[in-house]
Amino acid sequence: MREIAVVAFAQTRHSATDQGQSEPELILPPLEEVREKTGLRTFGFTCSGSCDYLAGAPFSFVSALDALGAWPPISESHVEMDAAWALYEAWVRLQHGDVDSALVYGFGKSSQGDLREIMTLQLDPYYLAPLGLDQVSYAALQASAAKVDRARLDEIVRRSRADGRANPYALDLPDPGGDAFEVEPLRPYDIAPVTDGAAAVVLAAGDLARELCERPAWITGIAHRIEPHYLGMRDLARSASAAEAARAAGAGKGHVDVAELHTQFSHEEPILRQALELPESTIVNPSGGPLAANPVMATGLIRVGEAAQRILDGVAGRTVGHASSGPCLQHNLVTVMEA
């Protein structure tokens, strides 16, 4: 495979409430920032991830092209998935060998609607959606199956929120407290907060990557797997697709210094830690992770970006960025990066 690296990453200062910015306004600053960091104004390929249902209108990605200033016309594509999959598509495109750089971005304004209810529309429309099982309820089913003890979940949230407060891009959320359940066994603070935000990443191949930055985060493995949609077909206590993606990406071939995991609920961290076979010595979500900022459709890309940034900054040698999609971790993507 051709050597491809993350050479720049930028994100918005994510917000828990609508700041009156349109999606193109949200994405413009991160796009400018990665252009400035790399000095590149044009890219061999561009790919983005977003979701119409967050905006409640078709083609939410179309106006992003205006923010991009896609002129002259660019070679570009879009996934209706978390932008981590846009990064995957761009990585594949760079394997062709005819272009050397790619711009990837994702954005989401979940403050505009009721995310919990919207995510229900992702379920099988004939047999599951009519049951009215919402996102938090099905996550609670998984939390029950995983049987993680409350003290551990509390510790995960406490740590994530503290790290988030130290991260200028994440939300400032207080230490978790209160005994009320949102949907048992999940408490309100076990759930990733509603967040608006955007992120951008630049990928570059071989010599261009070395030219653009001192310490590129080389992608040594990237893979994703989906599993059956129906919750009853899966062992919810485990994530078979995350484990398989991690194996295919070669996550276990060396020590993982830092892993950024797409945990939209606290109980997903132990499930993913086990699937990725991460040792105790691996630092998980030092950015605070999705429990401290969850701009849906950019959250997974931010995990790859944050994991890459540790290498770009020289504070880690080998990191993993993980992204997830679908109910109860149905679909998982694992990116392994090395200095």
| Contact residues for another protein, defined by CB under 8 A | 1, 22, 46, 51-53, 55-63, 65-66, 68-81, 85, 88-89, 92-98, 118-119, 121-126, 128-129, 223-230, 233, 240-241, 244, 325-327, 330-331
Q: Which two tokens stand for residue 229?
A: 């949609």
CA distance 112 to 256: 37
Q: What's the min distance (Å) between Cβ of 198 and another protein? A: 16
The CA distance from 1 to 250, in Å, is 14
Amino acid at 334: V
**Nearest approach, Cβ of 269 to another protein (angstroms)?**
21
CA atoms within 13 A on the CB side of 213: 28
Rounded Cα gap, residues 272 and 120, in angstroms: 23
Nearer to another protein, 67 or 284 (CB): 67
Distance of closest approach, residue 139 Cβ to another protein, in angstroms: 14
CB of 70 to another protein, least distance (A): 5
β-partners of residue 335 are 222, 321
Q: For residues 117 and 313, which CB has a smaller minimum distance to another protein in the complex?
A: 117
- Minimum gap (Å) between residue 267 Cβ and another protein: 20
Element (H, E) at 71: none
Q: Which two tokens stand for residue 214?
A: 């001192």
Which structure tokens are listed for 146? 């995983």
Indicate the SS3 state at residue 60. coil
The pair phi, psi for residue 159, each rounded to 5°, is -65, -45
Least distance CB 237 / another protein (angstroms): 18
Which residue lies nearer to another protein by CB, 221 or 288? 221
Q: Which of residues 1 and 166 has its CB atom nearest to another protein in the complex?
A: 1
CB of 207 to another protein, least distance (A): 19
Cβ-based nearer residue to another protein, 68 or 199: 68
Q: What SS3 state is found at 66?
A: helix
What residues contact residue 123 under an 8 Å CB cut-off, 6+ apart?
129, 133, 229, 327
Residue with smaller CB distance to another protein, 71 or 281: 71
Contact 6, 203 (CB under 8 A): yes
> CA-to-CA distance for 274 and 262, rounded, in angstroms?
14
Least Å from the CB of residue 300 to another protein: 13
When the beta carbons of 223 and 293 are compared against another protein, the nearer one is 223
Amino acid at 204: A
Taking the least distance from each CB to another protein, the nearer of 71 and 180 is 71
Tokens of 80: 């209706």
Neighbours of 3 (CB within 10 A): 15
Measured in whole angstroms, the distance separating CA 215 from the mean position of its chain's CA atoms is 22
Nearer to another protein, 66 or 175 (CB): 66
What does the alpha-carbon distance between residue 263 and residue 255 come to, in Å, rounded to a whole number?
A: 21
The whole-angstrom separation of Cα 147 and Cα 272 is 14
Q: Cβ of residue 57: shortest distance to another protein, in angstroms?
A: 5
